A and B are shown apart, each in its own frame.
Chain A
Amino acid sequence: MTTSSQPTLRENPWFTHTVRIADLIEETEGVATYQLVMTDGNSSSMYEFVPGQFNMLYLPGVGESAISMSGDPDRNDGWIHTVRVAGNVTKTLARLQRGDTLGLRGPFGAGWPVSELVRKDVIIVAGGLGMAPLRPLVYYLMNHREQFGKIWLILGARTSDGLLYPSEYAAWRKRDIEVILTVDRATAGWNGHVGVVTQLIDRLQLSRPEQSHLVTCGPEVMMKYAAMSGLRLGIDAERIWVSMERNMQCAAGLCGHCQLGPEFICKDGPVVRYDRIRPYLFVEQL
Chain B
Amino acid sequence: MATPISPLFIPKPHLQLLLNELRHRGYSVVGPTVDQEAIVYGEIQSIEQLPQGWTDEQAPGHYRLKRRDDNAWFGFVVGPHSWKKYLFPPKTTLLTAEKTESGWQFIPRSADTTKFALLGVRACELAAMRIQDQVFLNGPYQDPLYRERREHLFVISVNCTQAASTCFCTSMKTGPRCENGFDLALTEIDTGFLCEVGSERGREVLDAFVSLARRASEGSSVASNSNNDCVTANEICFATPEQLKSAENARQQAVDQITRQMETSDLPGLLLSNLDHPRWKEVGERCLSCTNCTMVCPTCFCSSVTEVRDLNMDRVERERTWDSCFNPDFSYLGGSLVRNDTASRYRQWLTHKLDGWHAQFGTSGCVGCGRCITWCPVGIDITEEVAAIREETSP
What CA separation (Å) do A58 and B152 show in the bound complex?
A: 32
Q: Are A60 and B139 in contact (CB under 8 A)?
A: no
- A53 to nearest B CB, angstroms? 13
* Residues on the A chain within 8 Å of B140, using CB: 10, 252-253, 267
Q: How large is the interface on A (under 10, 10 to 19, 20 to 34, 35 or more residues)?
A: 35 or more
Interface assignment of A261: CB less than 8 Å from any CB of chain B: yes
A39 contacts B by Cβ under 8 Å: yes
What are the residues of chain A within 8 A of B318 when measuring CB–CB? 14
Within the assembled complex, what's the spacing in Å between the Cα atoms of A84 and B53?
Answer: 63
Whether a CB of chain A sits under 8 angstroms from the CB of B272 is yes
Residues 228 to 263 of chain A near chain B (Cβ within 8 Å): 245-247, 249-250, 252-257, 259, 261-262
* B323 and A256 contacting across the interface, CB-CB below 8 Å: yes
Instruction: Decide if B313 is an interface residue (CB 8 Å cutoff).
Output: yes
Q: Is the CB of B302 within 8 A of A256?
A: yes
Asked whether, in the complex, the Cβ of A259 is within 8 Å of the Cβ of B356, the reply is: yes
Interface status of A286 (Cβ within 8 A of chain B): yes
- Interface majority SS (helix, strand, loop, mixed), chain A: loop
Interfacial chain B residues near A250, Cβ < 8 Å: 303, 305
List B contacts of A17 (CB < 8 A). 106
A264 within 8 A of B: yes
Q: Measured between alpha carbons, how far is A118 from B55 in the docked complex, in Å?
A: 66
A279 to B276, CA, bound (A): 11
Given the contacts A12-B108, A61-B316, A283-B276, A252 and B141 also touching, CB distance less than 8 Å: yes
- Of the candidate stretches A75-83, A100-108, A131-139, A178-186, the one touching chain B is A100-108
Interface string of B348-377 (1 = CB under 8 A from A): 100110011011100000000000000000
Contact check: which of A16, A100, A254, A286 meets B103 at CB < 8 Å?
A: A100
Cβ contact within 8 Å between A257 and B305: no
What B residues does A61 contact at CB under 8 A?
A: 97, 307, 309, 313, 316
Q: Which of B139, B335, B341 has the most CB of A within 10 A?
A: B139
Chain B residues whose C-beta falls within 8 Å of the C-beta of A15 in the assembled complex? 106, 108
Nearest-CB residue, chain B, relative to A252: B141
Q: How far is the CB of A281 from chain B (nearest CB, A)?
A: 11
Judge whether B325 and A285 touch: CB under 8 Å: no
**Using a CB-CB cutoff of 8 Å, which residues 82-129 of chain A contact chain B?**
86-87, 100-103
Whether A254 contacts B338 by the Cβ 8 Å rule is no
B334-A86 in contact (CB<8A): yes
Q: Count residues of chain B with CB under 8 A from any CB of chain A.
A: 55
Q: Is B143 an interface residue (CB 8 A)?
A: yes
User: Which residues of chain A come closer than 8 Å to B136, judged between CB atoms?
Assistant: 254
- Nearest residue (CB) in A for B302 is A256
Q: Which residues of B contact A252 (CB under 8 A)?
A: 139-141
- CA of A102 to CA of B97, assembled, Å: 10
Is B141's CB under 8 angstroms from A257's CB?
Answer: no
B298-312 CB mask vs A (1 if < 8 Å, else 0) is 000111110101000
Chain A nearest Cβ from B5, distance in angstroms: 38
- The answer to whether A1 has its CB under 8 Å from any CB of chain B is no
Chain A residue nearest to B141 (CB atoms) is A252
Q: Is A72 an interface residue (CB 8 A)?
A: no
Q: Quick check: is B340 within 8 A (CB to CB) of the other chain?
A: yes
CB-nearest residue of chain A to B341: A285
CB-defined interface of B327-354 with A at 8 Å, one 1/0 digit per residue? 0001111110011110010011001100
CA distance A262 to B353 in the complex (A): 10
Interface flag for B144 (CB, 8 Å): yes
User: CB of B135 within 8 A of chain A?
Assistant: yes
Cross-chain contact A12 with B356 (CB below 8 angstroms): no
Interface: A29 (CB within 8 A): no
- List residues 215-256 of chain B with CB under 8 A from any CB of chain A: none
Answer yes or no: B105 CB below 8 A from chain A CBs: yes
B309 to chain A, nearest CB (A): 4
Contact A257 B304 (CB under 8 A): yes
A63: Cβ under 8 A from any B Cβ: yes
CB-defined interface of B95-126 with A at 8 Å, one 1/0 digit per residue?
10101001111101100000000000000000
- Are B95's CB and A255's CB within 8 A? no
**Is A159's CB within 8 Å of the partner chain B?**
no
- A87–B307 alpha-carbon span in the complex (Å): 15
Q: How far is the CB of A34 from chain B (nearest CB, A)?
A: 15
Question: Once the chains are docked, how many angstroms separate the CA of A66 from the CA of B104?
Answer: 19
Q: Which residues of chain A from 145 to 183 have a CB within 8 Å of any chain B CB?
A: none
- Determine the distance from Cα of A255 to Cα of B318 in the docked complex, in whole angstroms: 14
Q: State whether the Cβ of B142 lies closer than 8 Å to any Cβ in chain A.
A: yes
In the assembled complex, A18 has its CB within 8 A of some CB on chain B: yes
- B94 lies within 8 A of A14 (CB): yes
B275 within 8 A of A: yes
Interface readout for B159-183 with A: 1 if CB under 8 Å, 0 if not? Answer: 0000000000000000000000000
Residues of A near B303 (CB, < 8 A) are 249-250, 254-256
Within A263-286, the residues touching B (CB, 8 Å) are: 264, 267, 279-280, 283-286
How far is it, in angstroms, between the C-alpha of A107 and the C-alpha of B199 when the chains are bound?
39
Residue interface mask A35-69, B partner, CB < 8 A = 1? 00001000000000000000000101111100000
A60 to B317, CA, bound (A): 8
- Bound: A215/B15 CA distance, A: 64
Is the CB–CB distance between A255 and B304 below 8 Å?
yes
Complex CA distance for A256 and B321, rounded to whole angstroms: 13
Does B97 contact A262, Cβ atoms closer than 8 Å?
no
Q: How distant is the Cα of A101 from the Cα of B331 in the complex, in angstroms? A: 29
- A20 touching B307, Cβ below 8 Å: no
Cβ of A267 and Cβ of B356 under 8 Å apart?
Answer: no
A247/B341 contact (C-beta < 8 A), A17-B106, A60-B309, A257-B302 known: no
The 11 sampled A-B contact pairs (Cβ below 8 Å) are A12-B108, A16-B95, A58-B106, A61-B316, A62-B307, A86-B334, A254-B143, A256-B303, A262-B355, A285-B338, A285-B344
**What residues of chain B have their CB less than 8 Å away from a CB belonging to chain A?**
94-95, 97, 99, 102-106, 108-109, 135-136, 139-144, 147, 272, 275-276, 301-305, 307, 309, 313, 316, 318, 323, 325, 330-335, 338-341, 344, 347-348, 351-352, 355-356, 358-360
The 8 A-B residue pairs with the shortest CB-CB distance, nearest first, are A101-B103, A256-B302, A252-B141, A262-B356, A285-B344, A60-B97, A262-B359, A16-B106
New contact pairs (17) apart from A7-B144, A255-B304, A262-B359, CB-CB < 8 Å: A14-B144, A16-B95, A18-B103, A39-B103, A60-B97, A60-B104, A60-B316, A61-B309, A253-B141, A254-B141, A255-B323, A257-B323, A261-B272, A267-B140, A267-B141, A285-B339, A286-B344
